[in-house]
Amino acid sequence: MTSSGADIGINHSSRNVGGPHHNIQHSLIWKEKLAPTMVLYSAGRTTSYPSETVEEGIRLHFLGGGDEVGNVGCVLEDKTGTRILIDYGLAPTRPPKYPSESPPVDHAIITHSHIDHIGMAPWLVGHHNTTLHGTELTAAVSEMMWRDTYKVSSIEGYPLPWDMRDLDVALGAWNTHKFGEWFNIGEWRLRFHRAGHIPGAAMIEIETPELRLLWGGDMDTRTSPNVGGAKAMDCDILCIESTYGGREHPNRQEEEARLVTRVKEIVGRGGVALIPAFASGRCQDILRILYEAAPHLEVHFDGMGTRITQHWMNNQQYIRNPSGLEKMWRWARKVRSKSDRKKALGADVIVTTSGMLDGGPAIWYLNRLRHDLSNAILLTGYQAEGSGGRGLLDNGKLPIFGNLTQIDLDVDQFQLSNHAGHSELETFVRECKPKHVVFFHGNTESRDAISAEFIQTPTPHLPVNGTTLLLK
Ligand SMILES: [Zn+2]
């Protein structure tokens, strides 16, 4: 069974970003004016979801995010008729890409607040009156994420399949749970565990009458500046992301030290280090690294990351060493006005969105800083094909307010990912001792590389969107 004909709203793009797209302040990422073709949702349309009942085990059906990064949605069901959806995101490509249409579900688990996991939740609540289960922090950040997505889609001319009414209803649909606290859906018991990745991100443990399943979500077992790593646990079925299958991260401490050294060099020669960083996770990591290693620096913080940090401050139970976050928050100079922004041009360091230089304050700063060659740009994350940051790395040029502009500043890139690398994934799978391991959320190369580590025990599975996997 395929997902063709079951797409929601806007036609899928053939574009494949092929990497993690957590660039949530993607204000200009949809600017390519490809004529969007609207396909409106109409009641009674069929989805790719099978109509047969399940007789044994657990049936997994990926609406999206099976054989791709992001764009996640997966329906789980067993013989008791208990059915949940895990995540319902969108991929911020041009035009955005959506998972296939969800069948009716009363309950959805939302692992974390990145847009490729929550972007379509308003549609779900608006059409199926679904209850959203997540951590308090995920629920708190969701409003900002949805409003930003709505704003961007309006600006860029790619109408979303959901509207402001759906968004308002979704805000009231949250049922929040603390880590480790059991709750029931139908005949299943469920509880959240820390996933690493970003504060509030959850893995979900599910006990059905037959099996124990662990859904890893986006995860990392390594400790990062703001969140502790995920811990393995025994399960029968493990569903795990494969974003970095086949790729190893550099040593985290060494990479952080390299960043600090580079910042000091730039400041030492009289320059400003412009650090574009993703709003949810990366900005705050960079700031804590700088605060701990070089508190004498004058660091200005601009963009949506500042508002997300305020939510972190209000939900400190999800933060590693929260007093460190508080100190960083007091120390960083928050940009709150146009005059603050002008003042920031005289800083040592500016940390701001968008992380892929696709808009946001980063472009405003770059336009003013680009003439003084003592300044530099330090990229801190994955730069997707077609993004401003990718163009800068490959050709030394990127669009500034619509004009492709040559940038002569030094550009460095640092690997500070909050996804598990190949070794971390492999170790985690072995420690969970599952019978089955499902590798999703990865491109073909990555999924092949990590599944090759497991020949028989556990049995590896590589799901494809729109098809069904029955595990027992
Ligand atoms: Zn994520």
Q: What is the pLDDT of residue 45?
A: 52
Q: Residue 244 in contact with residue 419, Cβ under 8 Å?
A: yes
Tell how far the Cα of 201 is from the centroid of ligand 1, in angstroms. Answer: 8
Tell how far the Cα of 145 is from the centroid of ligand 1, in angstroms. Answer: 13
Q: Provide, rounded to the nearest whole percent, the portion of the chain with pLDDT above 70.
A: 90
| Tens digits of residue pLDDT in 118-154 | 999 999 999 999 999 999 999 999 999 999 999 988 8
Tell how far the Cα of 216 is from the centroid of ligand 1, in angstroms. Answer: 11
Fold of domain 252-413: Rossmann fold (3.40.50)
Tell how far the Cα of 229 is from the centroid of ligand 1, in angstroms. Answer: 14
Tell how far the Cα of 70 is from the centroid of ligand 1, in angstroms. Answer: 8
Other Cβ atoms less than 10 A from the Cβ of 186: the count is 14
Q: What is the mean pLDDT of residues 68-73?
A: 94
Q: Minimal CA–CA distance to 193: which of 109, 255, 116? A: 109
Q: Is the pLDDT of residue 237 over 50?
A: yes
Tell how far the Cα of 113 is from the centroid of ligand 1, in angstroms. Answer: 7
> Token pair for residue 78?
């067993």
pLDDT band for 19, please (50, 70, 90 cuts). Answer: very low
Tell how far the Cα of 116 is from the centroid of ligand 1, in angstroms. Answer: 7
DSSP 3-state assignment of 308? helix
Residue type at 453? Answer: E
Tell how far the Cα of 381 is from the centroid of ligand 1, in angstroms. Answer: 13
For residues 335 and 275, give the distance between their C-alpha atoms in angstroms, rounded to a whole number: 14
Tell how far the Cα of 112 is from the centroid of ligand 1, in angstroms. Answer: 7
Tell how far the Cα of 50 is from the centroid of ligand 1, in angstroms. Answer: 28
The secondary structure element, H or E, covering residue 285 is helix 282-293
Q: Residue 241 in contact with residue 22, Cβ under 8 Å?
A: no
Tell how far the Cα of 214 is from the centroid of ligand 1, in angstroms. Answer: 17
Tell how far the Cα of 75 is from the centroid of ligand 1, in angstroms. Answer: 19
Tell how far the Cα of 308 is from the centroid of ligand 1, in angstroms. Answer: 15
Tell how far the Cα of 268 is from the centroid of ligand 1, in angstroms. Answer: 35
Tell how far the Cα of 410 is from the centroid of ligand 1, in angstroms. Answer: 29
* Centroid of chain to Cα 160: 19
Q: Is the pLDDT of residue 24 over 60?
A: no
Tell how far the Cα of 22 is from the centroid of ligand 1, in angstroms. Answer: 6
| Tens digits of residue pLDDT in 246-274 | 999 999 999 999 999 999 999 999 999 99
> Token pair for residue 146?
């949805």
Tell how far the Cα of 117 is from the centroid of ligand 1, in angstroms. Answer: 7
Prior bond to 95 cis, omega within 30? Answer: yes
Lowest mean pLDDT: which of 5-14, 98-107, 146-155, 377-386? 5-14
Tell how far the Cα of 72 is from the centroid of ligand 1, in angstroms. Answer: 10
Q: What is the pLDDT of residue 157?
A: 87
**Domain limits, CATH 3.60.15.10, in the chain:** 58-247+419-471
Tell how far the Cα of 118 is from the centroid of ligand 1, in angstroms. Answer: 10
CA angle 25, 73, 443 (to 5 degrees): 75
Tell how far the Cα of 55 is from the centroid of ligand 1, in angstroms. Answer: 33
Q: What is the pLDDT of residue 455?
A: 87
For residues 174 and 162, give the distance between their C-alpha atoms in angstroms, rounded to a whole number: 17
β-bridge pairing 468-471 and 58-64: antiparallel
Q: Which CATH number fits domain 58-247+419-471: 2.60.40.1730, 3.60.15.10, 2.60.40.10, 3.30.70.920?
A: 3.60.15.10
Tell how far the Cα of 20 is from the centroid of ligand 1, in angstroms. Answer: 8
pLDDT band for 205, please (50, 70, 90 cuts). Answer: very high
Tell how far the Cα of 427 is from the centroid of ligand 1, in angstroms. Answer: 20
Q: What is the pLDDT of residue 21?
A: 39
> Token pair for residue 75?
């329906």
Tell how far the Cα of 224 is from the centroid of ligand 1, in angstroms. Answer: 14
Q: What is the mean pLDDT of residues 370-397?
A: 95
| Tens digits of residue pLDDT in 287-336 | 999 999 999 999 999 999 999 999 999 999 999 999 999 999 999 999 99
- Report the chain's mean pLDDT, rounded to a whole number: 90
Tell how far the Cα of 250 is from the centroid of ligand 1, in angstroms. Answer: 20
Tell how far the Cα of 270 is from the centroid of ligand 1, in angstroms. Answer: 36
**Domain limits, CATH 3.40.50.10890, in the chain:** 252-413
Tell how far the Cα of 115 is from the centroid of ligand 1, in angstroms. Answer: 8
For residues 19 and 213, give the distance between their C-alpha atoms in angstroms, rounded to a whole number: 26
